[in-house]
Structure formats: structure tokens, C-alpha cells
Amino acid sequence: LSLGNAFSFDDLDKFDESVREIGEFVSYCVERKIDGLSFEATYEYGKLALGCTRGDGYEGEDITHNLMVIDDLPKYIDKLKNTPEFKVRGEIYMSKDNFNRINEIRKKNNEPLLANTRNAAAGTLRQLDSEVVKKRGLNAFVYYIVNPKEYGLETQSDSLRLLRELGFKTQESNLITG
């Protein structure tokens, strides 16, 4: 289950109650949300082979050429060299510092300013020219392994630990049990 939007402690309590209907012992892996553009990356025998936007949940855009220039994503993972396919999901985002830097340049050049960091990241990632993507300095983090049980992973905390071991950037997480 995913928390979705919560704006009060009452919202958190209601979510916790719905989770406890499934089982009495509950643990939460709490991760900070950064609003960017969701993506999925496929590694074949350790090599980044395919990247796509999540699109409508069924079909997305091929952004492999642009993922190749984002420094936060490993392009080759030696520990996966014998793994035919390994898929992860994450977020591509633009930091506020980069956003402000780009808008300063655009302002000096009398170009329209970028509206917000999320739209700026999404528009950048859809560029046909990977050099534009590289210059804008997008960031990425990964939060999910597709089919985690295939790798013996039982919890989100276990998945995040493996992702970090493989060289992916992840958000800090806190484990809460009770």
C-alpha cells in the first residue's frame, strides 16, 4: 500500500488503520518524496539497455539516450554481469539550484523562464538532443526493484540496501516498526 496524499496526523492514523486490517505486525519504510518524472530502467547483463518514462502506466517514451548522460545512474553494474534482466524504477528531477541557474541564463537571453522544477525535468528528459540533457544536470534516484522476490528481497528496506550496494542513488529511508 502507498500512503498517497496525507496532510494531517488523522490522515496518517487512517492509513495505519487500513494497513493493520491486513496484519497485526506492521513496519514502514518511510522515504522522502521528490516530485520528478518517473522512469524505468532495464539492465541486461549489467549494462543499461533501456530507459523509458512510465507514461500512462502501460506505454511510455524511450529515453535511453538521455539516461546515458545522467551521472546519478550507473551505466554498467559488474555485480549484475550474469543477470539477464534487472529492472528498476525511479525519479528524474531537477534541483532548485540548477533550475535557478538555468532561469538566470534564460532571463539574460530574453527567453521564456521555466515554470517549475518538475516540468523542467520532464521537458528536459524528452529532448532529442542528449547534450541539452547533460548541460541541464538532471539528477536521479531509484526507489523500486521490479520483481524483488526474484532476488530474495522481502522488504522495501532490503531492496533499498541492495540498490545502494549496486551503485544506485536512493533517498534516505527510515524503518518504523510497531
Q: How far apart are CA 37 and CA 12, in angstroms?
A: 25
Yes or no: say if 127 and 69 are a contact pair by the CB < 8 Å rule: no
Chain position carrying cell 534564460:
106
Strand pairing class (47-53; 37-44):
antiparallel
Cα distances (angstroms) measured from residue 62 to each of 22, 68, 95, 157: 38, 12, 23, 29
Q: How far apart are CA 41 and CA 114, in angstroms?
A: 27
Element (H, E) at 28: strand 27-31
Question: Catalytic: 75?
Answer: no
Cα–Cα nearest to 77, from 169, 170, 166, 161: 166
Amino acid of residue 67: L
Of these residues, 14, 33, 47, 79, which one is catalytic? 33
Name the residues annotated as catalytic.
33
